Each structure stands twice: as structure tokens, then as C-alpha cells.
């Protein structure tokens, strides 16, 4: 019988709550004032977009997008409330940055499709870009005030009906990884132990980093870390343990992450209904399918499934 184990945890959750409860608030510092101002700004913009979307649409030169602006307004209100209610609003602020990216993409489409109102659209895009810079600054300030909240670990395990040697060999060829890692576009080997990674967030924002293998035990374990200067600060390992009775291999993966680039990716993923732990487990299941069947199985085209079985995670893997 196949045994599947999935473990997700954030090891610093308890410490984060305890530290937040015992740390006095500092409403007078610049970072807190900026975050509070952005929170109220987000709520105000959101209310305007929900109550008077047509007026806002005319103001930014997007006359046919009032329904979409109402959706944006709901998002802005939710982000603003999250910033104002949180003891440390870094995640909510990074979620606002994700929303800003979506807004900029939207304004670019308005400028392309509606040249008669291009001046208004350009002005709105400049304003959004300015607010995005403030959101990033505030998020970095908030993260710096709670460095312990930035260190998180995820773990996931799964039984694969293949030998440790086969699993290790497939994983060790890092250019295979985009075949099952849904957020990775490509991995290019740059030296014996180093590789260059290109990924993308749900909002199609590019993310690149260089990674180095720091431990390589054939058929047992691979450990890695990102190199200084990368967009992502990340380290982790994967272990290949022979299952009892030679029933396959237990794959155990763990990753430590937590810099601002990852916080942005995590916030965007949650905003689109996913989180890093879910993505990690889904990727392991894709790895299992790929090794056991030679392909990744979806429900697309099956009459019992949805009209399209392709999920957001499937789509970004292509």
C-alpha cells in the first residue's frame, strides 16, 4: 500500500506570536507611520473603486473597466484592513505590492487599447508606480522590525514507487526540476555545482537567482543554497530514504526561506489562493507521477472533471 506523508509547518509561528505580544508598539517611528498611512490610503482607494467605479474608470482612462475596478476595490480594502489590524504588517504590505503589479499590468493594457485616453492612463500608471515604491519601502521597514518573523521552514514527504538511485539521479539533473516544480520556468547549469534559476510569481513578475549545491551524497541527499546577490535567499535539502521492505523511496524535502523577495512571492501566492506549503506538496506529487508513470496526470478533458482541469499551478509550469 502506498504511504503518503505531508508535513507543513512554520517553525517560528509560536515565537512570532510571543515576540509580537511582548514587543511594545512604536507608532511614532517612520515605518509604522508610513504603513498606517498606506493602510488608510488603501481603504480609501478601495471604497472609491467599490462605490464609484465608473468615476474612477473615467479618471484613469479606463471607461470600460468599471466592473474590474470594483474587484480591485475589494482587494484594496482587504489589504488596507490587513495592514491596519496587523502588529507587523509586512505580509499585508507585500500583498499590496502584488496588487500594485497587477494594477500596473492593467494600466499598460489600458494604454495599449485606449489611445484617446493615454495621457490619463500614463498619469495613473506613474501614480501607481510611486505608491508601489512606498509599499516596498514600508514592507522592508516592517520586515526589518521583526526579523524573526522572516525565517520560516516548510517540510513535505512523499513515498515514490521507485528506487533511491532512480529518484536521486532524476533530481540531481537540475534541468529536470522545471518539469515538476510548478513555479520554476527554467534551470540552467552554470558549473559543476552551480545553476541559474528563473521563476515567476502569479502576477508574472520575474524572479531569478543562482543556486549552489553544498552537499551531495549519491543516492541519499542533496543540499543547496542561493548565492549572495540573488533575488531569493533560500536554502534546503532533499533526502532519498529507502522505504521498508523495498517498497520505494521516501522523499523528504525541507526548505528555509524568508527574505523580502520570498515574502513577496508568498504574499502573491496567498493572494491567488495558494501558499508555499501547498505548492511544495503538489510539486512532490508531480515528481511522483513523473517518475512512476512518465507523465503528469491532470483531469483536463475528463467528463467528470471541471471544464478545464488545468489549475493556476499547472499553467505557470508551462
Q: What is the pLDDT of residue 23?
A: 39
Range with top average pLDDT, 123-127, 259-263, 284-288: 284-288
Q: What is the pLDDT of residue 207?
A: 76
In sequence order, which residues have a C-beta less than 8 Å from that of residue 218 and are 6 or more positions away? 168
- Asked if residue 126 lies in contact with residue 72, where contact means CB atoms within 8 angstroms, the answer is no
pLDDT of 111 > 90? The answer is no
Q: What is the pLDDT of residue 85?
A: 87
Per-residue confidence at 26, pLDDT binned at 50, 70, 90?
very low
Q: What is the pLDDT of residue 307?
A: 40
Least-confidence region, from 98-107, 191-200, 305-314: 305-314
Where would I find the H helices in 30-117? 30-51, 53-60, 66-85, 90-113
Q: What is the pLDDT of residue 296?
A: 79
Q: Is 175 helix (H, G, I), strand (E, B) or coil?
A: helix
Q: What is the pLDDT of residue 28?
A: 47
Mean per-residue pLDDT for 8-36? 52
Residues in a beta bridge with 225? 212, 235
pTM of the model: 0.51
214 φ, ψ to 5°? -105, -15
Q: What is the pLDDT of residue 14?
A: 40
Q: What is the pLDDT of residue 298?
A: 62
Per-residue confidence at 112, pLDDT binned at 50, 70, 90?
confident
pLDDT of 8 > 90? The answer is no
Residue with C-alpha cell 515538476? Answer: 180
Which pLDDT tens digit goes with each residue over 210-234?
999 999 999 999 999 988 877 677 7
Which pLDDT tens digit goes with each residue over 263-280?
555 554 554 455 667 778
Q: Is 157 helix (H, G, I), strand (E, B) or coil?
A: strand
Other beta carbons less than 10 A from residue 193's beta carbon: 12
Mean per-residue pLDDT for 108-136? 81
Q: Which residues of 109-134 are buried (b: 16+ CB within 10 A; e: fewer)?
A: ebbeebeebeebbeebbeebeebbeb
pLDDT of 287 > 50? The answer is yes
pLDDT of 167 > 90? The answer is yes
The three cell numbers of residue 113 are 487599447
Amino acid at each position: 500500500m502506498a504511504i503518503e506523508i505531508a508535513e507543513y509547518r512554520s517553525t517560528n509561528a509560536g515565537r512570532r506570536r510571543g515576540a509580537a505580544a511582548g514587543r511594545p508598539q512604536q507608532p511614532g517611528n517612520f515605518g509604522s507611520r508610513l504603513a498606517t498611512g498606506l493602510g488608510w490610503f488603501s481603504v480609501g482607494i478601495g471604497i472609491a473603486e467599490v462605490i464609484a467605479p465608473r468615476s474612477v474608470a473615467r479618471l484613469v482612462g479606463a471607461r470600460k473597466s468599471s466592473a474590474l475596478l470594483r474587484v480591485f476595490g475589494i482587494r484594496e480594502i482587504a489589504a488596507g484592513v490587513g495592514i491596519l489590524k496587523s502588529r507587523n504588517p509586512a505580509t499585508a504590505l507585500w500583498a499590496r505590492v502584488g496588487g500594485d503589479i497587477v494594477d500596473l499590468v492593467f494600466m499598460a493594457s489600458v494604454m495599449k487599447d485606449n489611445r484617446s485616453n493615454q495621457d490619463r492612463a500614463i498619469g495613473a500608471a506613474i501614480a501607481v508606480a510611486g505608491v508601489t515604491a512606498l509599499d516596498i519601502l514600508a514592507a522592508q521597514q516592517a520586515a526589518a522590525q521583526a526579523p524573526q518573523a522572516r525565517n520560516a521552514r516548510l517540510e513535505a514527504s512523499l513515498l515514490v514507487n521507485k528506487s533511491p538511485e532512480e529518484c536521486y539521479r532524476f533530481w540531481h539533473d537540475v534541468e529536470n526540476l522545471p518539469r515538476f516544480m510548478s513555479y520554476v520556468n527554467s534551470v540552467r547549469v552554470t558549473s559543476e555545482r552551480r545553476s541559474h534559476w528563473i521563476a515567476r510569481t502569479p502576477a508574472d513578475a520575474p524572479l531569478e537567482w543562482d543556486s549552489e549545491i553544498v552537499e551531495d551524497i549519491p543516492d541519499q541527499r542533496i543540499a543547496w543554497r542561493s548565492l549572495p546577490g540573488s533575488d531569493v535567499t533560500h536554502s534546503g535539502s532533499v533526502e532519498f530514504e529507502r522505504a521498508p521492505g523495498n517498497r520505494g523511496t521516501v522523499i523528504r524535502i525541507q526548505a528555509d526561506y524568508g527574505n523580502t523577495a520570498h515574502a513577496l512571492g508568498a504574499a502573491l501566492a496567498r493572494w491567488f489562493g495558494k501558499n508555499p506549503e501547498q505548492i511544495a506538496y503538489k510539486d512532490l506529487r508531480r515528481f511522483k507521477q513523473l517518475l512512476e508513470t512518465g507523465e503528469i496526470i491532470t483531469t483536463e478533458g475528463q467528463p467528470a472533471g471541471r471544464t478545464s482541469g488545468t489549475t493556476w499551478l499547472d499553467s505557470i509550469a508551462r
